[in-house]
């Protein structure tokens, strides 16, 4: 059985005081039985690690470099994230793809770098509004996913997470309906099953895109939705707690 997972993507938000208050709020509340992690800006990973090290919550980074070390000003590597005991690395978030020009090949290279360092990549896939309206959702998601599946080592049956995040739903307040989300999640699981039934059974597929306290339960009730990747609502204790509880 796949364990539900909820991951908060803080994006470029927070400061030392705000992070401390948010984490205190989460630590002092019953979050339910789902696995829970937060991904702060990398400059705050050490602060988060210190706060969460005695808890069941995990932490991760929002991006990594595809290379291990060298003259890459401003970048952080997968081994650095591992050094700070990150469990997860978000890879190929749509903001990385659209604002920073990351293409499928970059995402696949980062996926491999994360796995080699012992991190669990959370690979984001999803169509934009024009692609959805043109009926290209499954083609786009299939292409993005294919780049990752081609990078899998033979026989690999776990060690990564997929997040389906329709770009038109991220930070917009528009959420995919549970049926729209389930359709794409099922498609993703079928692609995994074409490689191996065990892979399809093991991999958690998260939904992301304006997940809130009031829509989480309906989304997570679907058989192929194993939890959420949560942006804006992960910055609010009450919202994030409710989402975590809805997952498990």
209, 226, 242, 246: which one contacts ligand PEP (CB under 6 A)?
A: 209
Active-site hit among 102, 127, 165, 185 = 165
93 is catalytic: yes
185 is catalytic: no
Total of residues contacting ligand PEP (CB under 6 A): 13
> What angle do the packed helices 16-27 and 45-52 form, to 10 degrees?
30
Active-site hit among 93, 95, 102, 131 = 93
Query: Residue 199 or 246: which CB sits closer to ligand PEP?
Result: 246
For 163, list phi and psi in degrees, rounded to 5.
Answer: -120, 120
Query: Residue 93 or 199: which CB sits closer to ligand PEP?
Result: 93
What track of x and - describes contact with ligand PEP for positions 93 through 132 (by CB under 6 A)?
Answer: ----------------------------------------
Residue whose C-alpha is closest to residue 147's, from 117, 167, 124, 175: 124
Q: How far is the CB of 37 from ligand PEP (least distance, A)?
A: 13
Binders of ligand PEP among residues 210 to 239 (CB under 6 A) are: 210-211, 229-233
Interaction of residue 171 with ligand PEP, rule CB under 6 A: yes
Positions annotated as catalytic residues are 93, 165
């Amino acid at each position: 059985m796949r364990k539900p997972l909820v991951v908060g993507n803080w994006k470029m938000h927070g400061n030392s005081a705000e992070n401390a208050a948010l984490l205190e709020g989460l630590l002092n509340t019953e979050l339910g039985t789902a696995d829970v992690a937060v991904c702060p800006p990398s400059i705050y990973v050490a602060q988060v690690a210190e706060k969460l090290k005695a808890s069941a919550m995990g932490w991760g980074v929002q991006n990594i470099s595809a290379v291990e070390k060298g003259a890459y000003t401003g970048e952080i590597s997968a081994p650095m994230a591992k050094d700070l005991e990150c469990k997860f690395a978000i890879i190929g978030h749509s903001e990385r793809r659209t604002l920073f020009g990351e293409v499928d090949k970059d995402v696949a290279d980062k996926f491999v770098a994360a796995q080699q360092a012992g991190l669990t990549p959370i690979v984001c896939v999803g169509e934009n509004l024009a692609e959805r309206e043109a009926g290209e959702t499954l083609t786009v998601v299939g292409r993005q996913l294919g780049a990752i599946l081609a990078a899998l080592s033979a026989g690999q049956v776990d060690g990564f997470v997929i997040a389906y995040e329709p770009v038109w739903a991220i930070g917009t307040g528009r959420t995919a309906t549970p049926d729209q989300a389930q359709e794409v999640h099922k498609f993703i699981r079928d692609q995994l099953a074409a490689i191996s039934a065990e892979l399809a059974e093991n991999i958690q597929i998260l939904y992301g895109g304006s997940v809130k306290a009031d829509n989480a339960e309906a989304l997570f009730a679907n058989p192929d939705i194993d939890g959420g990747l949560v942006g804006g609502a992960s910055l609010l204790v009450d919202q994030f707690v409710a989402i975590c509880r809805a997952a498990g």
